[in-house]
Amino acid sequence: MVRPQDIVWIALFAGLAHWGPDLTPEATTVLIGIGLMQILDPKIAFLGTRAGAIVSFLIKLGLWYILMGWTDGIASPYYWLMLLPVMSVATSLGLVGLVAATALAGGAYLSLLHFLGRDYEVIPDQWPVLILREFTFPIAGFLTYELLEANRAATRRAQSAAEQLAEANRHLQEAEAQVRRTERLAALGQLSAGLAHEIRNPLSTIKGSAEMLLKNVDSDGAVAHELAGYISTEVDRTNALVTRFLDFARPLTLRLEQTEIAEVIDEAVAQVEKHTPPLDVSIYKNYSPDIAPFPFDRQLIERVIYNLLLNAAQASPPQSSITVKTRQVGDTVEIDVIDRGSGIAPKDRESIFNPFFTTKSSGVGLGLAIVSKIVDEHGGQITVESEPGAGSAFHVFLPAGEPRRSWEKAK
C-alpha cells in the first residue's frame, strides 16, 4: 500500500538522483538504496522491532558512508541524508538508542577525514562549518525525540481524559438508572398504599363474615365448614400480601445505632439456614476485619441481607454454595452476596429492583424493591453483576458515616 509519505520519498530521491551534484552511476545506485530503505522500513515487520530498527540504522549508515566517500568525502553535499536514520532512531529506540546513533553518525562523519587512506586537509575557515555539520546530528535527533515525547504525553493525557470521561459517563448512567428507579418506586409506592387501604377494609368484612358463617353452620355441614375455612385462609394470605404492599409504600424511619455489620450478617445467615423448607446450599462468610462499627438500622439491613441470601439460595442448584463477604473502601462499606445459580438475563437486570417484577412462578416481586428502598434510605446503593448460567453478585454499598438521607432529613 502506497502512503503519502512514500510519494514524498520517491520524489525526493528521484530528484537527487537526477539533479544531485557529483553523482557517479555507483553513487546514484547507493542513493537509490537509501531511498528504498526509507520506503520499505515501515512495510517490513521485522524492521518495526527494536532489533530491526538497529539493523535498519546500520544499513543506512553503511550506505550513507559509501555515498559520502564517492561524493567528495567529508565535503560531500549529501551529509544531511544521515539525519533521516538518526531521526528514525529517535522515534523507535528511545534516548539511549538516540545517543548511540548520534555518536556513531558523528564518528563516521569525522572518519571521512581519512576515508580510504586519503587525508583531507581542513583549512581554519572550514572548521566552523565542520563543527556545525557535526552538531546537526544530535540537534536533529534530540528535537525529534522531544517532539515525539511531547506527542506521547499529549496522547497519554487524551487517553486519561477519555477514560475519565467514560468512567464519569458510566456513573452518570448508573445515577440516571437509580433516579428512574426511585421515581418508579415513589409512584408505585403511592399507588400500593392506596390500593392496600382499599383492599384491607373489605378483607376484614369477608373474614368476619366467614367466621360468623362457621359459628352458624350446623356441625354436619362439612362442605360449608370447608369453604369457610378456605375463605379465612385466603383472606389471611391476601392480608399478608397487603401488609407487604404497605411495608413497601410507607416511609421508612431509620433507627440508627453503631453496629457491627458482621453480627447482622450472621443473624441473617442463621435465618436462612433455619428456612422451611430447608435450602440445600452452603453459605461461606468472608468478612474484612478492618470494618469498625458504623451507624445503620440493624433490623432493616438484616432484612436486606436476608432477602439477598434467600434469593441467592432459591436461584442456586442443590448442594451449591453462596458467598457473603464484606470490605471497606474509603468511607463506604461494601457487602457482596455471590451465588453460582442461573443468573439474570441482561434484559431483566434494570427491572429486578422494580416493584411487582419477578421471574419466579410465585411471589409478587416486592422483595428486591423493598431491599432497594432500604438501601436508598441509608444513602447507599445496590448494584448487580450477573451472567446467565454462571451466577449473580449483588453489591450493597453503605456509607460508613451518618447516612446521607438522614442528613437531608435533619436539615
Higher pLDDT: 312 or 405? It is: 312
Q: In DSSP terms, which residues pair with 396 in a beta bridge? A: 335, 382
pLDDT digits (tens, 9 = 90+) for 259-282: 999 999 999 999 999 887 888 899
Q: Of the candidates 187, 222, 227, which has an alpha carbon nearest to the alpha carbon of residue 211?
A: 227
Residue 246 has pLDDT above 80, yes or no: no
| C-alpha cell, 107 | 564518528
Q: What pLDDT, on a 0 to 100 scale, did the predictor assign at position 396? A: 96
Residue 329 has pLDDT above 70, yes or no: yes
118 φ/ψ sector (left φ>0, alpha ψ -120 to 50, else beta)? beta
CB 48 within 8 A of CB 42: yes
Residue 165 has pLDDT above 90, yes or no: yes
Q: What pLDDT, on a 0 to 100 scale, did the predictor assign at position 408? A: 42
CB 79 within 8 A of CB 68: yes
> What Å distances lie between residue 160 and 156, 163, 171, 399, CA to CA?
6, 5, 16, 28
Q: Of the candidates 232, 189, 220, which has an alpha carbon nearest to the alpha carbon of residue 355?
A: 189
Q: What pLDDT, on a 0 to 100 scale, did the predictor assign at position 336? A: 96
pLDDT digits (tens, 9 = 90+) for 282-317: 999 999 999 999 999 999 999 999 999 999 998 899
Q: What pLDDT, on a 0 to 100 scale, did the predictor assign at position 286? A: 95
Model confidence band, residue 185 (pLDDT cutoffs 50, 70, 90): low
Fold for 178-249, please state it.
Helix Hairpins (1.10.287)
CA diameter of the chain? 139
- Collapsing DSSP to helix, strand or coil, 105 comes out as helix
Q: What pLDDT, on a 0 to 100 scale, did the predictor assign at position 411? A: 35
383 φ/ψ sector (left φ>0, alpha ψ -120 to 50, else beta)? beta
For the full predicted model, state whether its pTM sits above 0.75: no
Q: What pLDDT, on a 0 to 100 scale, did the predictor assign at position 123? A: 65
Q: At residue 219, what are phi and psi to the nearest 5 degrees?
A: -65, -25
The domain spans of the chain are 4-121, 178-249, 256-410
Looking at 3.30.750.24, 3.30.565.10, 3.40.190.10, 3.40.50.2300, the CATH number of the domain 256-410 comes to: 3.30.565.10
Q: What pLDDT, on a 0 to 100 scale, did the predictor assign at position 410? A: 35
Residue 177 has pLDDT above 80, yes or no: no
Residue 405 has pLDDT above 60, yes or no: no
Higher pLDDT: 364 or 111? It is: 111
Q: What is the mean pLDDT of the segment spanning 242-259?
A: 77
In which residue are the cell numbers 441467592 written? 312
Of all helices (H) and strands (E), which one includes residue 257?
Answer: strand 256-259
Q: What is the mean pLDDT of the segment spanning 373-398?
A: 91
Q: What is the mean pLDDT of the segment spanning 329-338?
A: 94
Residue 71 has pLDDT above 90, yes or no: no
Q: What pLDDT, on a 0 to 100 scale, did the predictor assign at position 122? A: 64
Q: What pLDDT, on a 0 to 100 scale, did the predictor assign at position 407? A: 38
d(CA 224, CA 206): 15
